[in-house]
Amino acid sequence: MTPTLISKINLFNGQEVQLQGWAYNFRSSGKIFFLQLRDGSARVQIVYSKADVSEETWAALESLRLESSVRVLGRVKEDSRAPSGFELDGIGLEIVALATDEFPIGKKDHGPDFLLDERHLWLRSDKQWAIQRVRNQIINSTYAYFAENDYVKFDTPILTPTSCEGTTELFEMDYFDLGKAYLSQSGQLYLEAGIMSLGRAFDFGPVFRAEKSKTRRHLTEFWMMDAEAAFVEHEGNMQVQEGLICRIVKDVLANCQHELKVLERDTKPLEAIQAPFVHMTHQAAIAKLRELGSDIGDMDDLGADDETILTQQFDRPIFIEKYPAAVKAFYMKRDPLNPEFVLNNDLLAPEGYGEIIGGSQREDDYETLLARMNEHNLAIEPFQWYLDLRKYGSVPHSGFGYGLERITAWMCGLQHIRETIPFPRLINRLTP
Ligand code: 4AD
Ligand code: MG
């Protein structure tokens, strides 16, 4: 018999099926044995009656330990009390591998450090399972959205000779006879080369930042999606971001209802996410924050707390536009109407989540860009290729990057982003 996924047993009502997975939980009355089986696709209860199964099957059931791997033979039946609407009458049980130790993660509450030490096992629990599935939906929606909008996936390098987002958070290493190499902070600069060939492109991969701060929003290794498009200016850039975020939220609500329920995520705030998003200049944001009691200065960057306060004022994401050039990266194009500011945006997610996207129109004039790089004290030679892009048919162009873990935390309603990536890397954590 071909094994079936638990998520597909509704197709086999009344029939015998074989399932394979792990014993998530069980209890026995002595005569009836209730087994909770999970196989990655879903979870289901199998009810065995001592009177109806062979002695071997009953003995196997009684020998079970949590998280043992098993094959189950049973008959599917509808049951309105079951979360999926189905359960199985147990017929047979074959143990694939009996767990040799007590599973360290029990049903009681554990502290975050213990759970992170046991991350390789913690991933099996319901909520962690749900988070990874929501993350996967966000990835799938991102690929779909860009495919539908004629973007080409363009794989940017991880080992790089320069920084993209400033030098204070770079991981560096010796690179053979060529001096230092750095782990990429964002594929953006390479993507700018890509769009001069492909028009529209995106990358998606791990990036690295030696963040010295311990916050609930920062990892040292995280997944970034950068998107870039030729002939798109500041306004158009924000439209692409709005479309992408609306698509992700819509798909998560459509396809991850069960996962959101497992996570006890209130879905009402997500259902409120619709275009148009709120737009606010940095200047207006500063004024608003002052009105709310902050003493933030005119030309200050927004801190995490400022973002949280702003997001609590609205039920949808907020574009904060046109930051002071002094607090942003060298490649951002100045606002021609007000050259102390740049044509950029951060996108803040509601409910206190804050920045999920950073984007901007890029400086496309050779001499201006060169001057900016000098102002930022960047060595020109390793960036010559980037400057070259402004020599051969430069065009107005814009792009943005999102942090996958930030969006996942928001969708799942999590306090800390460490649970959104399978194996989090933090300033004080490199294992497992
Ligand atoms: O705002 P950032 O630094 O923008 C860039 O790197 C641009 N080069 C992107 C581009 O224009 N193509 O980072 C983009 C996003 C942030 O908005 C945030 O969501 C996430 O990456 N991010 C982090 N996520 C987790 N941990 C960290 N340490 C992060 N730093 C940034
Ligand atoms: Mg940013």
Please give the pLDDT value at position 222.
Answer: 98
**Region 119-148 average pLDDT:** 98
171-190: pLDDT as tens digits: 999 999 999 999 999 999 99
- Output the residue whose Cα is nearest ligand 1's atom 21: 403
Q: Nearest bound ligand to CA 426?
A: 1
Distance of CA 332 from the midpoint of ligand 2 (Å): 12
Give start and end residues of each alpha helix (H) in 54-207. 55-63, 112-117, 119-122, 126-148, 188-198
Peptide bond preceding 432 in cis form (omega within 30 of 0): yes
Residues with CB under 5 A from ligand 2 (ion): 358
Topology classification of domain 6-97: OB fold (Dihydrolipoamide Acetyltransferase, E2P) (2.40.50)
Please give the pLDDT value at position 165.
Answer: 84
Give Cα separations from 414 to 199, 264, 315, 352 (angstroms).
36, 10, 18, 11
The Cα 208–Cα 96 span in angstroms is: 40
pLDDT tier at 1, thresholds 50, 70, 90: confident
Torsional class of 217: left (φ above 0), alpha (ψ -120 to 50), beta (otherwise): alpha
**Region 300-305 average pLDDT:** 95
Q: Nearest bound ligand to CA 165?
A: 1
The Cα 124–Cα 129 span in angstroms is: 6
pLDDT tier at 412, thresholds 50, 70, 90: very high
**Region 331-360 average pLDDT:** 97
CATH architecture, domain defined by 119-419: 2-Layer Sandwich (3.30)
Please give the pLDDT value at position 317.
Answer: 98
pLDDT tier at 164, thresholds 50, 70, 90: confident
Q: Is the CB of 223 under 6 A from ligand 1?
A: no
List every span in the chain annotated with CATH 3.30.930.10.
119-419
Query: Cβ of 1: how many Cβ atoms within 10 Å?
Result: 8
List every span in the chain annotated with CATH 2.40.50.140.
6-97
pLDDT tier at 20, thresholds 50, 70, 90: very high
pTM flag (> 0.75): yes
pLDDT at 85 over 80: yes
Please give the pLDDT value at position 167.
Answer: 78
